């Protein structure tokens, strides 16, 4: 392995500008090499790997349970969705399903973090375009989301909330009242933001027609998530192959028409409102379900409760076996995809029956999207390139893994 | 009134210059502070609150004594005020880094040009027409002599201001060039194109007051626009005011026209490579420019030192106190401050234009509008005078 710097073919006397690795508009550590003809971008070469930590390789030496904290660090704007996606993959391999209460809570926190992710994306995109105020309006809501996640998981950013077979713990007492407050204030904040942006002529001029993509091209590049839906395809894994009982929730898939930055912004905004709807139904379902277990009752998969461990021989042995030897995994391979905030987040796991997986592969949603950056940015101005980059919502953590 | 000797004239001029500089250096840090606070409140935060601790510094002293008195200190909110000093100190004390391959002389020249041009534009601004105040008899050397309301209220005042203001763009372009770096170069070229484009509608919109007052002298224009018109100047001049103020945003590189700096595209634009007090000169220059633009708008469109703009001065009720109808420097300053607030307000509200759109706004909308405004002013002038 010899690491070679990317070779740059310089033709004519075009200016080559480095956007990144540390630049105000590359959120996270990524690098774009822009070839400029005046203000126009003639070529944009994305270079990745600045945040590469070898997550997939690390996973080969960790037990299935131990990999969960590493999934937090993939898309750190919505880490719970990574937790959920990964545990669903392992559960699919095991052939088990978590209890209904756990499913509802998983949906609830996933939608919360979807809102959080979209808030960040829309807000940061607005900052890139110069609208700082909208960003701070949105961040007020994001604070509440993080407060909620902290109540649930004990951590704000790197939640590690799920366990194989369920959840780490049930949501605490004060969670639902705060959630209801949030449910009340989120639509107002979104309305405020839309007042600032949606009909703002400058915002419209800056985003309309920038980064257009046809549905065919979008599919060819491997787009998923809001970027694909903005291009006009109602593709959503929550509807297409429902998991966690998403078929039991009422929500719509917003789609755009042209796939430009404006449509992506509108789609994300509407998705937040739809997530808001789903959360409302989650609250109702939680009330209907009443208290119950949040993790499977199978001690071969999930740790037995502590009081049993301290009092019963069987449980102590299970605890010991689970911690020391891990779960008894069947031999096989599985690909499981969930609809994360950015698109299809897939986990491909190959198991040889051992303590740790033989191979883990993560399919991050923003990797294929980022590939198309050159095509999207070519011929636009620098300012557009920055807007496109923001609307793609590149999260370096999951891009480089 | 005695004719002043040469020495007396020079001393008075010096005093005037010092007064204007003091004015600038009072209003600029206050604008910076106000920007932090106002933006903070627009954006659901408190703005600058953290310069002095609860226990140290002057505010700390006050806070402690308030606790001792059994009162909750209310000064916490205002604790950002020492930042006015802190900012300047920071800029002076910071290391002045110069890129190895930068052009040494031009790198030094650029911020000074930018700053000096901004300050010098203030010379022709007249705060009050005629005498600002008369020195009391007991003052040595200049006792009994008048101090006029403007430093150099010359009869080509507007020409001077516009001319000096366009020198400022050299500072920006040279900064970009001398830095020998790509982002500053892009930023400065953008800025050059932008300011040159926007000077056209700016000048055209300022021609309307010139036409209506028949003068280029700041105080004369302000007087005519506020009191001398036989009609309400508001109808033909509203458009001119809006065009002028929009161009003012572009001239001072403020949002939505902050292309040269466009933080998220060009890092910091033309002053990316600058640090220390050299950066400070650009920074202060921008705020002084804002004050100049506001002063011109206040003088030519908003009635200058009179209470009411646009020739509405006749509306002042004669039963009100007489000073309301008199010119007063305070009115002028209040108008400047109000316009500075608008600068901050706009920054907190709207996004940034793209480079080509900025140009389109100037050439497609503002210049035709300014021409229409000029035509209107000419017609009004022809029909009414």
Q: What is the mean pLDDT of chain A?
A: 86
> Which residues in chain B are contacts of A131 at CB distance < 8 A?
350-352
Length of chain B: 385
| A141 contacts chain B (CB < 8 A) | no
More confident residue, B274 or B235: B274
A122's tokens: 């829309």
- Domain assignments of chain A as residue spans, ordered by start: 6-47, 55-400
The chain B residue lying nearest A390, using CA atoms, is B264
Return the residue of B nearest to A386 by Cα: B265
**Cβ–Cβ contact A277 with B under 8 A:** no
Q: Which two tokens stand for residue B55?
A: 């226990």
Higher per-residue confidence, B56 vs A333: A333
pLDDT at B58 over 80: no
The alpha-carbon radius of gyration of chain B (Å, integer) is 23
Residue B313 DSSP one-character state:
G
- Residues A200, B353: C-beta atoms closer than 8 Å: no
Report the helix count and the strand count for chain A, using DSSP H and E: 17, 8
How large is the average pLDDT for residues B354-365? 85
Q: What would the two tokens of residue A80 be?
A: 């719970």
Segment B277-291 mean pLDDT: 87
Distance from CA of B350 to the nearest CA of A (A): 6
pLDDT greater than 60 at residue B1: no
- Measured in angstroms, the CA of B185 and the nearest CA of chain A are apart by 11
For testing contact with chain B, the best of A383, A385, A386 (most B CBs within 10 A): A383
* Interchain contact A289–B (C-beta under 8 A): no
A248–chain B Cβ distance below 8 A for any pair: no
CB contact (8 A) between residue A126 and residue B351: yes
What is the three-class DSSP state of A207?
A: helix
Written out in words, the top-level CATH class of the domain with range A55-400 is mainly alpha
Taking contacts as CB-CB distances below 8 angstroms, the residues of chain B near A138 are none
Question: Which residues of B fall below an 8 Å CB-CB distance to A?
Answer: 42-45, 182-183, 186, 190, 255-256, 258, 262-267, 348-357
Q: How many Å apart are CA B283 and CA B291, to the nearest integer?
A: 13
From the CA of A91, how many Å to the nearest CA of chain B?
43
- pLDDT tens column, A319-355: 888 888 888 888 989 999 998 888 889 999 999 888 8
Give the mean model confidence (pLDDT) for residues B80-109. Answer: 81
Chain B residue with minimum CA distance to A23: B267
pLDDT exceeds cutoff 70 at B316: no
Residue A244 pLDDT more than 50?
yes
Confidence at B236, pLDDT banded by 50, 70, 90? low
Write the CB contacts of A165 (distance below 8 Å, at least 6 apart in sequence).
Answer: A87, A91, A94, A96, A98, A295, A296, A298, A301, A302
Q: Are B263 and A24 inside 8 Å of each other by CB?
A: yes
What would the pLDDT profile of A44-77 be if each residue is shown by its tens digit?
Answer: 888 888 888 888 888 888 888 888 998 888 888 8
**Average pLDDT, rounded, for chain B:** 80
A386 with B265: Cβ contact below 8 A? yes
Banded model confidence at residue A195, pLDDT cuts 50, 70, 90: confident
Closest chain B residue by Cα to residue A37: B186
Q: How far is B273 from chain A (nearest CA, A)?
A: 14
Q: Tell me, what's the pLDDT at B385?
A: 58
Q: Which residue of B has its CA nearest to A15?
A: B182
Token representation of residue B105? 């002389």
Q: Which residue has the tokens 């002389």?
A: B105
**Confidence band for B59, pLDDT divided at 50, 70 and 90:** low
Label residue A1 by pLDDT band (50, 70, 90). Answer: very low
- Backbone phi, psi, residue B22, to 5°: -60, -45
pLDDT at site A270 = 92
Count of helices and strands (H, E) across chain B:
13, 2
Residues of A in contact with B43 (CB under 8 A): 132-133, 136-137
A176 vs A26, higher pLDDT: A176
- Say whether A172 sits in a helix, a strand or coil: coil
Contacts of B190 in chain A (CB under 8 A): 39
Degrees (nearest 5) of the Cα angle A113, A99, A287? 70
Which of B42, B258, B350 comes nearest A202 by C-beta? B350
A137 touches chain B (CB under 8 A): yes
Nearest CA in chain A to B350: A131
Residue of B nearest to A195 (CA): B349
A89 pLDDT higher than 80: yes
Euclidean distance between CA atoms B357 and B381, whole angstroms: 34
Contact B354 A206 (CB under 8 A): yes
Residues A381, B356: C-beta atoms closer than 8 Å: yes
Exposure pattern of B84-107 as b/e (b: 16+ CB <10 Å)?
A: beebbeebeeeeeebeeebbeeeb
Q: Are B266 and B221 in contact (CB under 8 A)?
A: no
Is the CB of B44 less than 8 angstroms away from the CB of A136? yes
Task: Tell me how far apart the alpha carbons of residues A365 and A222 are, in angstroms, rounded to a whole number.
Answer: 9
**Cβ separation of A383 and B354 shorter than 8 Å?**
yes
Identify the residue among B265, B353, B365 best suited for mutation to test binding to A, counting A beta carbons within 10 A and taking the highest. B265
- What's CA B203's distance to the chain center, in Å? 16
- Given A23, A137, A203, which is nearest B351 (Cβ)? A203
Write out pLDDT tens, residues B199-212: 889 888 888 888 88
Helix (H) or strand (E) holding A386: helix A382-392
Q: Is A33 on the interface with B (CB under 8 A)?
A: no
State which residue of chain B sits closest to A22, comparing Cα positions: B267
* Nearest residue to A87 via CA among A168, A167, A171, A163: A163
pLDDT at residue B52 greater than cutoff 70? no
Of B264, B267, B355, the CB nearest to A39: B355
Q: Look at B42 and A133 and tell me if their CB atoms are within 8 Å.
A: yes
Q: How far is A141 from chain B (nearest CA, A)?
A: 12
Structure tokens at B332: 């002028």
Q: Are A113 and A341 in contact (CB under 8 A)?
A: yes
**Min CA distance, A3 vs chain B (Å)?**
27
Report the predicted TM-score, pTM, of the whole model to 2 decimal places: 0.83
pLDDT at residue A350, as a whole number: 92
ipTM summary value? 0.77
Q: How many interface pairs between A and B have CB atoms less than 8 angstroms apart?
A: 80
Q: Which residues of A touch B354 (CB under 8 A)?
A: 205-206, 381, 383-384
Residue A4 has pLDDT above 80, yes or no: no
Can you give the pLDDT at residue A269? 92
């Amino acid at each position: 392995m010899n690491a070679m710097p990317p070779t740059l073919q310089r033709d004519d006397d075009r200016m080559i500008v480095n956007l990144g690795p540390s630049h105000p508009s590359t959120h996270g550590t990524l690098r774009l090499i822009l070839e400029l003809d005046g203000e126009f971008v003639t070529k944009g070469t994305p270079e990745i790997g600045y945040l590469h930590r070898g997550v997939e390789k690390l996973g080969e030496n960790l037990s299935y349970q131990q990999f969960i904290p590493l999934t937090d660090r993939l898309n750190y704007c919505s880490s719970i969705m990574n937790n959920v996606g990964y545990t669903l993959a392992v559960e699919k391999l095991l052939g088990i399903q978590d209890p209904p209460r756990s499913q509802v809570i998983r949906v609830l926190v996933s939608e919360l973090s979807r809102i959080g992710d979209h808030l960040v994306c829309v807000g940061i995109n607005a900052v890139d375009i110069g609208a700082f105020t909208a960003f701070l309006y949105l961040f007020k809501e994001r604070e509440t989301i993080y407060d909620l996640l902290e109540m649930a998981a004990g951590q704000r950013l790197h939640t590690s909330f799920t366990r194989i077979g369920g959840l780490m713990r049930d949501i605490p007492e004060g969670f639902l009242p705060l959630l209801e407050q949030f449910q009340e204030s989120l639509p107002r904040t979104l309305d405020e933001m839309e007042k600032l942006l949606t009909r703002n002529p400058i915002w419209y001029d800056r985003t309309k027609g920038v980064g257009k993509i046809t549905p065919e091209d979008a599919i060819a590049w491997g787009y998923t998530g809001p970027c694909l839906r903005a291009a006009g395809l109602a593709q959503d894994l929550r509807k297409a192959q429902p998991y966690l009982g998403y078929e039991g929730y009422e929500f719509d898939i917003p789609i755009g028409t042209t796939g430009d930055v404006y449509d992506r912004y509108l789609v994300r905004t509407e998705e937040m409102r739809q997530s808001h709807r789903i959360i409302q139904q989650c609250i109702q379902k939680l009330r209907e379900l009443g208290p119950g277990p949040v993790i499977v009752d199978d001690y071969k998969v999930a740790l037995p409760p502590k009081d049993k461990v301290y009092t019963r021989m069987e449980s102590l042995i299970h605890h010991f076996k689970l911690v020391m030897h891990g779960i008894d995994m069947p031999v096989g391979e599985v690909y499981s995809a969930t609809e994360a905030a950015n698109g299809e987040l897939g986990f491909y796991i190959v198991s040889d029956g051992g303590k740790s997986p033989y191979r883990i592969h993560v399919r991050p949603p923003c990797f294929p999207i980022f590939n198309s950056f050159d095509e999207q940015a070519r011929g636009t101005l620098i300012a557009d390139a920055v807007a496109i980059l923001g609307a793609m919502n590149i999260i370096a953590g999951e891009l480089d893994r | 009134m005695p004719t002043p000797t040469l020495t007396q004239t020079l001393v008075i001029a010096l005093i005037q210059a010092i007064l204007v500089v003091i004015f600038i250096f009072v209003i600029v840090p206050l604008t910076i502070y106000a920007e932090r606070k106002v933006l903070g409140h627009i954006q659901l935060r408190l703005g600058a609150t953290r310069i002095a601790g609860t226990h140290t510094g002057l505010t700390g002293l006050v806070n402690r004594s308030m606790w001792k008195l059994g009162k909750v200190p209310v000064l916490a909110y205002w604790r950002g005020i020492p930042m006015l000093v802190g900012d300047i100190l920071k800029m002076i004390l910071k290391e002045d880094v110069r890129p190895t391959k930068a052009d040494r002389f031009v790198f030094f020249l650029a911020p000074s040009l930018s700053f000096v041009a901004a300050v010098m534009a203030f010379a022709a601004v007249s705060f009050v027409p005629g005498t600002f105040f008369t020195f009391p008899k007991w003052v040595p050397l200049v006792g009994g002599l008048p101090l006029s309301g403007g430093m150099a209220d010359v009869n080509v005042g507007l020409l001077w201001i516009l001319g000096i203001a366009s020198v400022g763009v050299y500072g920006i372009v040279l900064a970009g060039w001398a830095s020998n770096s790509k982002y500053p170069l892009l930023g400065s070229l953008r800025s050059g194109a932008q300011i040159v484009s926007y000077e056209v509608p700016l000048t055209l919109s300022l021609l309307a007051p010139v036409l209506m007052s028949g003068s280029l002298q700041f105080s004369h224009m302000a007087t005519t626009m506020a009191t001398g018109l036989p009609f309400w100047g508001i109808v033909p001049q509203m458009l001119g005011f809006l065009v002028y103020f929009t161009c003012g945003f572009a001239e001072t590189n403020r949002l939505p026209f902050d292309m040269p700096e466009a933080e998220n595209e060009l890092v910091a634009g033309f002053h990316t490579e600058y640090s220390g007090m050299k950066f400070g000169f650009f920074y202060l220059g921008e705020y002084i420019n804002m004050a100049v633009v506001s002063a011109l708008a206040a003088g030519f469109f908003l009635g200058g030192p009179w209470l009411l703009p646009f020739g509405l001065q006749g509306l002042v009720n004669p039963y009100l106190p007489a000073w309301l109808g008199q010119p007063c420097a305070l009115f002028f300053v209040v108008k400047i401050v109000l316009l500075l607030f608008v600068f901050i307000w706009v920054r907190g509200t709207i996004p940034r234009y793209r480079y080509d759109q900025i140009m389109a706004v100037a050439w497609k909308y503002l210049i035709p509008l300014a021409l229409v405004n000029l035509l209107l002013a000419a017609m009004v002038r022809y029909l009414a005078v």
